């Protein structure tokens, strides 16, 4: 019902020397859907993310993003994936620009748009109107996001001074300020308390429905995954072991085995 997939991951394999971190994984994610990738520690979830966002070059496989045209992500340079294919991501361990203010973090995210408006800095240097207008518009975008994540009052504080939960939200807002088609979130609920976690759920749903983009989510917190995701992909030891709607996946014996261990696995449960 949702039309063509936004991103198709086909036969993705990533080897580090002798270690196969991701082994022949195929799945797709659709626009206006939250696709969750789950799996036990070391299952290769973050490696899949790093391949999609250009931090690793996959050993084998094709990553196709379909938008105005087809982008073959595995052939693009790291920054081009953000710049041209418009895939944005957050990190497992938050990576803000801690010394810069909250607002500046959101302005840096709009770099490419502003860079064009500033005529590669020349117009901006002379304070031309064209650049000033673009900057005002960019501040407007940033302000709207600050309102959504409830950080307007902290806009001029260094991002590193914010409490942990606020930093998580800011990182998502920063990724959204790049104007992405696909948002990849690497454990956004890690370290959040139940109230913050519920706020995050609401934010992600509003991004899915309001902004209408595809969201790819790595998450350990099952309450988040089961409540908000539309589609779940389960990885274990680098392989895809299950895929489907959250309720189906939850009942899948292979998934239960991966998470809880088997009888042969020993007495631990």
Partner 1 sequence: MGPRLQHHLKDAGLTALVAAGLGIFIVGFRTYDIGKGLTFDYQFVDLGIAIVTIFFGRLGLSLAADGLSWPALALGAVLGAIGASPLKLPSTFLHWFVTLAGLLIVLRTIWPWANHGLAVARHSPRGVPVGQAIAKWIGAALLVVAVILPMTPLGDQKTMDLAVLILTYVMLGWGLNIVVGLAGLLDLGYVAFYAVGAYSYALLSTQYGLGFWSVLPLAGMMAASFGLLLGFPVLRLRGDYLAIVTMGFGEIIRLVLLNWVDLSNGPAGIGSIPGPTLFGVVFAETAPAGKQTFAEMMGIPFSGNQRLIFLYYIILALALVTNFFTQRVRRLPVGRAWEALREDETACKALGINPTNTKLTAFAVGAMFAGFAGSFFAAKQRFISPESFTFIESAIILSIVVLGGMGSQIGVVLAAVLLIGLPEWFRDLGAYRMVAFGLAMVLIMVFRPRGLIAHREPSVRLHPVHRRGAA
Binding site for partner 1 (CB under 8 A): 53-55, 78-84, 86, 88-89, 91, 95-101, 103-104, 107-112, 114-115, 118, 120-121, 124-125, 127, 131, 135, 139, 142-143, 146, 152, 155-158, 174-175, 178
Give the nearest distance from C-beta 145 to partner 1 in angstroms.
11
Give the nearest distance from C-beta 118 to partner 1 in angstroms.
6
Give the nearest distance from C-beta 54 to partner 1 in angstroms.
8
Give the nearest distance from C-beta 121 to partner 1 in angstroms.
5
Nearer to partner 1, 88 or 189 (CB): 88
Please say whether the beta carbons of 32 and 2 come within 8 A: yes
Residues in the chain: 269
Give the nearest distance from C-beta 84 to partner 1 in angstroms.
8
Q: Give the count of beta carbons closer than 10 Å to the beta carbon of residue 250.
A: 16
Q: State how far the Cα of 120 lies from the Cα of 94, in Å rounded to an integer.
A: 30
Nearer to partner 1, 47 or 197 (CB): 47
Give the nearest distance from C-beta 183 to partner 1 in angstroms.
11
3-state secondary structure the chain: CCCCCCEEEEEEEEEECCEEEEEEEEEEECCCCEEEEECCCCCCHHHHHHHHCCCCCCCEEEEEEECCCEEEHHHCCHHHHHHCCCEEECCCCCCCCCCCEHHHHHHHHCHHHHHHHCCCCHHHHCCCHHHHHHHHHHHHHHHHHHHHCCCHHHCCCEHHHCCHHHHHHHHHHHHHHCCCCEEEEECCCCCCCHHHHHHHHHHHHHHHHHHCCEEEEECCCHHHHHHHCCEEEEEECCEEEEEECHHHHHHCHHHHHHHHCCCCCCCCC
Nearer to partner 1, 69 or 195 (CB): 69
Nearer to partner 1, 47 or 110 (CB): 110
Give the nearest distance from C-beta 268 to partner 1 in angstroms.
36
- Between the alpha carbon of residue 232 and those of residues 21, 206, 235, 245, 263, the distances in Å are 19, 19, 10, 6, 25
Nearer to partner 1, 50 or 197 (CB): 50
Nearer to partner 1, 155 or 226 (CB): 155
Nearer to partner 1, 95 or 251 (CB): 95
Q: Which two tokens stand for residue 196?
A: 């913050």
């Amino acid at each position: 019902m949702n039309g063509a997939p936004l991103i198709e991951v086909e036969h993705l394999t990533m080897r580090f020397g002798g270690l196969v971190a991701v082994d022949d994984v195929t799945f797709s994610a659709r626009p206006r859907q939250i696709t969750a990738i789950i799996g036990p520690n070391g299952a290769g979830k973050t490696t899949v993310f790093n391949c999609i966002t250009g931090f690793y070059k996959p050993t084998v496989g094709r990553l196709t993003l379909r938008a105005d045209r087809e982008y073959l992500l595995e052939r693009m340079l790291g920054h081009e994936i953000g710049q041209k294919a418009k895939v944005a991501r957050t990190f497992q361990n938050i990576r803000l620009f801690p010394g810069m203010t909250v607002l500046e973090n959101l302005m840096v995210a709009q770099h490419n748009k502003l860079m064009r408006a500033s005529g590669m800095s020349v117009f901006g240097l002379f304070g031309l109107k064209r650049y000033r207008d673009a900057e005002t518009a960019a501040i407007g975008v940033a302000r709207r996001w600050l309102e959504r994540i409830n950080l307007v009052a902290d806009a001029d504080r260094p991002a590193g001074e914010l409490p942990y939960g606020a930093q998580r939200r800011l990182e998502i807002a920063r990724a959204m300020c790049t104007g992405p088609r696909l948002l990849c979130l690497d454990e956004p609920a890690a370290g959040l308390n139940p109230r913050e976690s519920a706020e995050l759920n609401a934010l992600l749903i509003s991004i899915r429905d309001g902004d209408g983009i595809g969201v790819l989510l790595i998450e350990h917190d099952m309450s988040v995954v089961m409540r908000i995701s539309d589609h779940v992909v389960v990885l274990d030891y680098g392989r895809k072991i299950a895929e489907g709607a959250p309720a189906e996946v939850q009942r899948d014996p292979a998934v239960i085995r991966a998470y809880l261990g088997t009888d042969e696995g020993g007495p631990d449960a």
